[in-house]
Structure 1
Amino acid sequence: MPINSYHALAPLNAILNGCATTLLLAGYVFIRQKRVAAHRACMISAMIFSTAFLASYLLYHYEVGNVRFSGVGWIRAVYFAILIPHVILAGVIVPLAITTVYFALRSRFQSHRRIARWTWPLWMYVSVTGVVIYFMLYRIYTPIYSPAAPAVAEAAAR
């Protein structure tokens, strides 16, 4: 993949997050309607989309490097007020989501419900704010690319 084509992963990441958000919301609605099979399909699909997002996100930042927010003034504070809890909760949601899905797949529904009450809103927050961060960082403001990742620097030197 040429270096510049890695930049296409940023909008892909937002799309994957948006799909996960939609599936999480649909899964919530389905379980409230006691439509367990539809809930299960949505939640497993959300996990797949989130896993694809994580792989794409890691590849993107490995190849492109750090991307800084260019907004100034009060919007910068807003951006970081969204970004900081997003990053912290993104690290928390990975083991939490895996554990929640594990309990469901093992038919340990009491444990599943107990942890899902925490997992779902946190996962929704991370997914929604991921899309918001994308729009703020790449669409509303011009991103600032920091020193390239090692792979980018090596390729540029060739």
Structure 2
Amino acid sequence: MTVYDLPPINATLNACATVFIILGLIFIKVGNKKAHIVCMATALTFSAVFLGCYLYYHFHVLHVKFAGTGNIKTFYYGLLITHVFLAIVNLPMIIMTVIPALRQRFDKHKRLAKWTAPIWLYVSITGVIVYMMCYQWYGPPLRS
């Protein structure tokens, strides 16, 4: 395995996080707190492993350039900008949402989770879309 094998692994980790975020949200809506905790902890684990792999990949590869052209290139970079910005914002939000849950301050956890969960879901879903656009549909990316 080389560093160039990481993008599909990263997309898979993001997709797994997405599934567990959705399941966690469903379980809390129906009142199954144990299943919610398991799903959200699993989503958090997938996201943490993704972040480590992503940082390792970009530390070694640095920058990749989207190979698409025209309107799709504009769309891709617009999506990428929102994805990256919200990913950066979401990391401390996730931490600030998990800590009250661990301290059994569920009122605070719930207040924060109303903002954190949809952003985390957006970041996870758009991470997969960014991968598909850059590496599959219009790729491979141009290396710089």
| TM-score bracket, shorter-length normalisation | over 0.9
Deviation at 1:80, TM superposition (A): 1.3
Structure 1 residue aligned with 2:57? 60
- SS for the counterpart of 1:63 is helix
- SS for the counterpart of 1:34 is coil
Identify which of 77, 82, 104 aligns with 1:80: 77
Identify the range of structure 1 (74-83 vs 53-62) with the bigger mean alpha-carbon deviation.
74-83
CA RMSD between the two structures = 0.8
Write the distance in 1 (CA, Å) between the matches of 2:100 and 2:132. 34
Q: Which aligned runs of 4 or more in structure 1 are off by greater than 2 angstroms?
A: none
The alignment-based identity, stated in percent, is: 48
Paired residues, number: 143
Deviation at 1:55, TM superposition (A): 0.2
Could you list the runs of 5+ residues in structure 1 that have no partner in the other structure? 147-158
Task: Tell me the TM-score normalized by structure 1.
Answer: 0.89
Could you list the runs of 5+ residues in structure 2 that have no partner in the other structure? none
Structure 1 residue aligned with 2:142? 144
Task: Give the number of the structure whose alpha-carbon radius of gyration is greater.
Answer: 1
CA distances 1:133-152 after superposition (whole Å, capped 9, x unpaired)? 00000001120111xxxxxx
Identify which of 103, 114, 118 aligns with 1:117: 114
Write the distance in 1 (CA, Å) between the matches of 2:143 and 2:50. 20
Deviation at 1:69, TM superposition (A): 0.4
